């Protein structure tokens, strides 16, 4: 029987919020891509990770509608859960580390899929935004404190797959950090926290808190997983 865990990635200082992530630790139990895609769609998280080699940190990442070569919060969550020094994704290999309450990965901006980074004048404007109709993937942001690198952000995938707003998106934070060229402390969604820091040679570190919400949930049959109370 296949089991999966549920994590919260990029949690707030008190441990709340964060973006939910499904992790199938034994990816070999679901080898076919079409079956992995079907399970990701049924689980309904913004991303689900299949671990194909826990010792090497080899990952396969899916949204409800597509396979991704890289995604930020799945990589941070998997790095925390597996406690490995590096991860391997189709986009490339990346370093990973634990630092007190934070887990960090190193990634490259060119690994992230395109995002429309839309700046607003104030954090209040970002707070007031309504979910746009399906279309362009939008990362709306504004400075809360520019001198301190504090950002308010919200993410609207525009995919039409049931994920109207993404609570915490490492790939978008990666792109914003690369554009601005400075370390950021991002408050996204309902209260998630993402930290970033540019590194030499085009790398960017992305870090956050991770918590284990539920462990070892059984998938009774492929395509009919145990329901999660959201």
CA distance 215 to 226: 12
Instruction: Return the pLDDT at 106.
Output: 97
In this structure, are residues 168 and 18 in contact, taking their beta carbons and an 8 Å threshold?
Answer: yes
In this structure, are residues 10 and 76 in contact, taking their beta carbons and an 8 Å threshold?
Answer: yes
Q: Would the pLDDT of 225 be above 70?
A: no
154 is written with which tokens?
């919200």
pLDDT in tens, 145-202: 999 999 999 999 988 777 899 999 999 999 999 999 999 999 999 999 999 999 999 9
User: Which phi and psi angles does 74 have, rounded to 5°?
Assistant: -65, -35
Q: Would the pLDDT of 1 be above 80?
A: no
pLDDT band at 223 (very low <50, low <70, confident <90, very high): very low
In the chain, the domains with their CATH numbers are 2-96+209-225 (3.10.310.10), 111-208 (3.10.310.10)
Instruction: Return the pLDDT at 220.
Output: 61
Give mean pLDDT, residues 94-106. 97
CA 48 to chain centre: 10
Q: Give the mean pLDDT of the chain.
A: 93
H helix intervals, 56-215: 72-82, 123-127, 170-180
Q: What stretch of H or E contains 203?
A: strand 203-221
Instruction: Return the pLDDT at 229.
Output: 41
Measured distance between the N- and C-terminal CA atoms of the chain, rounded to whole angstroms: 23
Give mean pLDDT, residues 107-120. 95
Give mean pLDDT, residues 86-96. 98
Instruction: Return the pLDDT at 15.
Output: 87
In this structure, are residues 81 and 7 in contact, taking their beta carbons and an 8 Å threshold?
Answer: yes
pLDDT band at 230 (very low <50, low <70, confident <90, very high): very low
**49-53, 71-75, 215-219: range with lowest mean pLDDT:** 215-219
Give mean pLDDT, residues 44-67. 96
Q: Would the pLDDT of 14 be above 90?
A: no
Residue with tokens 């970033």: 196
| Helices 170-180, 72-82: crossing angle, 10 deg rounding | 110
């Amino acid at each position: 029987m296949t089991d999966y865990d549920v994590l919260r990635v990029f949690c707030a200082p008190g441990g709340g919020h964060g973006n939910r992530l499904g992790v199938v630790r034994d990816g070999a139990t679901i080898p076919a891509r079409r079956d992995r895609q079907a399970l990701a769609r049924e689980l309904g998280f913004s991303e689900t990770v299949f671990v194909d080699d826990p010792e090497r940190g080899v990952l396969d990442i899916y949204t409800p509608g597509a396979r991704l070569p890289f995604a930020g919060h799945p990589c941070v969550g998997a790095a925390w859960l597996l406690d490995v020094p590096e991860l391997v994704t189709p986009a490339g290999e990346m370093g990973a580390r634990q630092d007190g309450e934070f887990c960090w990965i190193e990634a490259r901006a060119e690994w992230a899929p395109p995002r429309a980074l839309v700046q607003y004048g104030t954090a209040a404007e970002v707070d007031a935004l309504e979910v746009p109709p399906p279309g362009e993937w939008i990362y709306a942001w504004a400075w809360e404190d520019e001198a301190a690198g504090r950002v308010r952000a919200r993410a609207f995938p525009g995919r039409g797959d049931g994920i109207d707003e993404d609570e915490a998106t490492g790939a978008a934070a990666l792109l914003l950090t690369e554009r601005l060229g400075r370390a950021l402390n991002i408050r996204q969604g309902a209260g998630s926290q993402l930290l970033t820091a540019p590194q030499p040679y085009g790398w960017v570190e992305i870090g956050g808190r991770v918590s284990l919400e539920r462990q070892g949930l059984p998938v009774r049959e492929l395509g009919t997983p145990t329901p999660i109370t959201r």
